[in-house]
């Protein structure tokens, strides 16, 4: 087994998932503003350190995706953030793209940037302790989207990124996110997500990326948030599995879903059903941001010094998702 494959298996072992704490300063400021907490460097660090030092990290979180600001910060205990994460039994990771910008030659579509100077930045992040990385491509669904140019350009960028990351002995998370914003049906989401993922793997193979040393971070198959007919959780699980079985090469060891705007309970329930019906060799886990942090953030905002109370809320959410990654979750457990 390769070193990269070992890292993947360590991150996703025993139902563990990934905490996506890689919100940019702008995104984190918006999150804090919604709960009326000033977005200072100190407050951003305090919230993240509160989560990173929670006991749920050791039992449930195999990896944490950080943002450039956070990976370079020192904790209140005078250790660096990656060291804190490692001491909790988790692996530190880093978001390395520089964001989605308007895609030239296409209306209302985006291309993710950040390849320029990436090799040098990766070396720096590796020295800081990062074991894996993340790059997100985003795709809209509409009558004309995602276009061939969007599908091709983002797949090409994800492959070039992955190749550079593996060259630096880190695991790339490949995140092609087909957005749930829109009035598209679940079947349209299925069709477009399949096309997007297949193109990503065409490019990854072309760029000689070791598929045993990556984690795929896809969206689940859902109807658009403005579509009149929602599908059942069972249908979400079955369509998602059907899509991945037909689109993802068997060498890929692990799939960690993004929550993509689902509520905390919805993201957990759908993950649980996916694992209940999973008859593949893929590890199916989670890489959630809001769906792991939202309740903890709301609780924390009432008293940012209540570390223990905030950690209790976070620990519960992490435990629920780890149970879901093992098909052991039920609604009754949420009451606890």
Other Cβ atoms less than 10 A from the Cβ of 80: the count is 16
Of 174, 178, 177, 255, the closest CA to residue 209 belongs to 174
Residue pointed to by tokens 């976070």:
314
Q: Among the options 127, 217, 230, 302, which is catalytic?
A: 217
From the number of C-beta atoms within 10 Å of its C-beta (0-12, 13-18, 19+), residue 254 rates as: buried
| β-sheet bridge partners, residue 91 | 63
According to DSSP, the β-strands at 171-178 and 91-95 are unpaired
CA-CA-CA-CA torsion sign (158, 244, 92, 168): negative
CA-CA-CA-CA torsion sign (234, 280, 60, 126): negative
Q: Is residue 217 flagged as an active site residue? A: yes
Residue pointed to by tokens 């689109």:
247
DSSP per residue over 236-281, as a string? HHHHHHHHHHHHS-TT--EEEE--TT--HHHHHHHHHHHHHH--SS
CA-CA-CA-CA torsion sign (110, 133, 176, 4): positive
Q: Are 211 and 174 contacting, i.e. CB atoms less than 8 angstroms apart?
A: no
Return d(Cα 145, Cα 271) in angstroms, integer. 27
From the number of C-beta atoms within 10 Å of its C-beta (0-12, 13-18, 19+), residue 194 rates as: middle
Other Cβ atoms less than 10 A from the Cβ of 312: the count is 15
Could you list the active site residues?
A: 217
């Amino acid at each position: 087994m390769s070193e990269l494959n070992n890292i993947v298996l360590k991150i996703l072992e025993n139902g563990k998932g990934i905490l996506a704490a890689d919100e940019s300063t702008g995104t984190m400021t918006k999150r804090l503003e919604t709960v009326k907490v000033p977005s200072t460097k100190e407050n951003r660090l305090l919230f993240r350190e509160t989560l990173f030092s929670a006991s749920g990290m050791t039992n449930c979180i195999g990896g944490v995706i950080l943002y450039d600001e956070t990976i370079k910060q020192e904790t209140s205990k005078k250790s660096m953030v990656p060291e804190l994460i490692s001491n909790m039994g988790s692996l530190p990771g880093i978001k390395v793209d520089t964001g989605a910008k308007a895609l030239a030659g296409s209306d209302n579509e985006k291309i993710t940037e950040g390849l320029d100077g990436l090799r040098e930045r990766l070396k720096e992040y590796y020295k800081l302790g990062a074991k894996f990385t993340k790059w997100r491509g985003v795709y809209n669904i509409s009558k004309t989207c995602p276009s061939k140019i969007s599908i091709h350009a983002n797949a090409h960028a994800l492959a070039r990124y992955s190749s550079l990351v593996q060259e630096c002995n880190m695991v790339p998370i490949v995140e092609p996110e087909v957005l749930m914003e829109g009035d598209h049906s679940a079947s349209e989401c299925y069709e477009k997500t399949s096309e997007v993922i297949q193109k990503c793997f065409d490019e990854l193979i072309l760029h000689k990326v070791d598929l045993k040393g990556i984690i795929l971070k896809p969206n689940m198959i859902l109807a658009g948030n403005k579509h009149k007919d929602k599908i059942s959780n069972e249908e979400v699980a079955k369509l998602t599995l059907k899509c991945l079985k037909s689109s993802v090469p068997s060498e890929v060891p692990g799939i960690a879903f993004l929550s993509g705007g689902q509520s905390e309970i919805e993201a957990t329930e759908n993950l649980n059903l996916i694992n209940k019906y999973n008859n593949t060799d893929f590890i199916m886990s989670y890489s959630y941001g809001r769906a792991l942090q939202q309740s903890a953030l709301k609780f924390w905002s009432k008293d940012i010094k209540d570390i223990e109370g905030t950690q209790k809320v976070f620990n519960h959410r992490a435990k629920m998702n780890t149970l879901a990654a093992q098909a052991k979750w039920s609604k009754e457990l949420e009451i606890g």
